[in-house]
Amino acid sequence: MYAIRGGKIITMDQPGIINDAMILIEGDRIRQIDYGIQPPEGYTLIEAQGKYICPGFIDAHTHLGLEEEIYRVEGDDVNEVTNPVTPQLQAVDGINYFDLGFNDALRGGITRAMIMPGSANVLGGQAAFLKTLAAGPAEMIYRNPWGLKAALGENPKRVYGTEKKTPQTRMASASLLREALFKASRIIDKPDLDGGEAYAQAPVFKVLRREMPLLLHVHRADDIITALRIMDEFHLDLLIQHGTEAHLVADELIKRQVGVFLGPLLVNRAKVEMKAVSFKNARLLAERDVKFSLITDHPVVPIEHLRVCAALAAREGLSEEKALQAITAMPARFLRVEDELGSIKAGKRADLVIFSGHPLDFRSVVEAVFVDGLLWRNQIE
């Protein structure tokens, strides 16, 4: 049990800053936030005068532990490039829970991360939502499975097209996705499916029943329109992944209330479909009231730089409030956990970060992180 005294609290639950209050943490929950109270007996006191306290950051699109930075084949488990349709795969089965990236995430104030298969396949497998700190690997799993990864655009056609396999075109990628959804829709209510078929189709059934969202990798505006067309055809719960040109089709996104996981942004224009990458895109989406979160796509952008991405988006005209929302409250909303995460409020999970200065100041250091009430202190060398 902990008592955090003083500091500037950015709750993300109400505008502005709460100054010099006390936060009580009991177990995995925030018990109380109030003024003029003393630390109860048995609580460990943490002095935070002059520091900033904010909700734990959530990176809603990573390959943490699946695609490790310093390894080649030994740490590359992100894409199963033997078949472009593999919905039955689960990211949780490939994650290295001792990947150095988890410690880097804590150093960047990230307390939760969505980890998903890559985008080589049209249907790549199921994502997992993890804590970055827990008593052990099993306890790191927060929600699993969470969402079915899919991809359109350059990646599937590059991976399979160069091998003279399907898909070689955008038409074929969209067709494979439709075919998988249509096939599943024809057998979803059949009681006599054999075990293998039932296992392979289970995640697609969940998508069709809207029990699980489709996490669809798309950069270009035309690919986003294709994604929305397929969403309409099958009445899917869709979340756009990357959305580099999402601002060009803002009206279509608003009409359907579809959210965007925007990023990676701290990158070069590595592909033709990323020619419009810019931190200004966050402001352009905000101006049109398209809901979005910021992502790193780790290891494309190292996960500890999530708040750097938010700060650079603020530099390009996004308000500080919306920049912080994009890595706290908004991903919590997209990931259906806004009742537990994304803001500092009594009763919510105790995911907090203590900074030496403002979170969007590059010079600020993460001094301590709480994940479900478990304390991690940054050993600054």
Residue 200, pLDDT score: 87
Whether pLDDT at 68 is above 80: yes
Q: Domain check: are 221 and 294 in the same one?
A: yes
Residue 299's closest CA among 51, 65, 103? 65
Residue 127, pLDDT score: 99
> Strands 123-126 and 148-151: what pairing?
antiparallel
Mean pLDDT of 120-131: 99
Q: Domain check: are 203 and 296 in the same one?
A: yes
**Following DSSP, what letter does each residue of 243-283 receive, concatenated?**
-TTGGGGHHHHHHHT-EEEE---SS---SGGGTT--THHHH
Whether pLDDT at 380 is above 70: no
Residue 88's closest CA among 193, 173, 202, 206? 202
Tell me the pLDDT band of 379, cut-offs 50, 70 and 90. confident
The CATH number linked to 4 is: 2.30.40.10
**Following DSSP, what letter does each residue of 33-51 receive, concatenated?**
EESS-PPPTTPEEEE-TT-
Whether pLDDT at 147 is above 90: yes
Q: Domain check: are 8 and 117 in the same one?
A: no
Residue 272, pLDDT score: 93
Residues 104, 34: Cα–Cα separation, whole Å: 32
Contact 133, 366 (CB under 8 A): no
Q: pLDDT tens, 315-369?
A: 999 999 999 999 999 999 999 999 999 999 999 999 999 999 999 999 999 999 9
Q: Domain check: are 112 and 85 in the same one?
A: yes
Q: Domain check: are 334 and 380 in the same one?
A: no
Residues 41, 24: Cα–Cα separation, whole Å: 12
Q: pLDDT tens, 187-242?
A: 898 877 777 788 889 999 999 999 999 999 999 999 999 999 999 999 999 999 99
How many domains does the chain contain in total?
Answer: 2
Mean pLDDT of 134-143: 97
Contact 200, 88 (CB under 8 A): yes
Whether pLDDT at 69 is above 90: no
Q: 366 forms bridges with which residues in the sheet?
A: 355
Tell me the pLDDT band of 75, cut-offs 50, 70 and 90. confident
Q: Domain check: are 35 and 81 in the same one?
A: no
Higher model confidence: residue 193 or residue 59?
Answer: 59
Determine how many CB atoms are found less than 10 A away from the CB of residue 186.
9
Range of the domain at 363: 1-55+343-381
Residue 343 carries which DSSP code? S
Backbone angle region of 245, left / alpha / beta, with phi > 0 → left and psi within -120 to 50 → alpha = alpha
Tell me the pLDDT band of 73, cut-offs 50, 70 and 90. confident
**Following DSSP, what letter does each residue of 3-27 receive, concatenated?**
EEESSEE--SSSSS-EES-EEEEET
Q: Domain check: are 139 and 175 in the same one?
A: yes
Residues 224, 299: Cα–Cα separation, whole Å: 24
Q: Domain check: are 97 and 235 in the same one?
A: yes
Residue 72 carries which DSSP code? S
Whether pLDDT at 112 is above 60: yes
Residues 110, 57: Cα–Cα separation, whole Å: 4
Q: Domain check: are 215 and 356 in the same one?
A: no
Q: Domain check: are 310 and 162 in the same one?
A: yes
Tally: H helices and E strands in the chain:
11, 20
Q: Domain check: are 203 and 239 in the same one?
A: yes
Residue 74, pLDDT score: 79
The CATH number linked to 327 is: 3.20.20.140
Highest mean pLDDT among 69-73, 75-79, 183-187, 334-338: 334-338
Residues 6+ apart with CB under 8 A from 112: 56, 58, 59, 129, 130, 131, 132, 142, 341, 351, 371
Whether pLDDT at 381 is above 70: no
Contact 102, 64 (CB under 8 A): yes
Residue 195, pLDDT score: 72
Q: Domain check: are 146 and 219 in the same one?
A: yes
Mean pLDDT for the chain?
A: 96
Residue 213, pLDDT score: 99
> Strands 214-218 and 238-242: what pairing?
parallel
* Assigned token pair, 362: 């590059």
* Assigned token pair, 340: 């537990």
Burial 259-275 (b: 16+ CB within 10 A, else e): bbbbbbbbeeeebebbe
Sign, Cα dihedral of 347, 350, 356, 358: negative
Residue 209's Cβ-count burial label (10 Å; 0-12, 13-18, 19+) is exposed
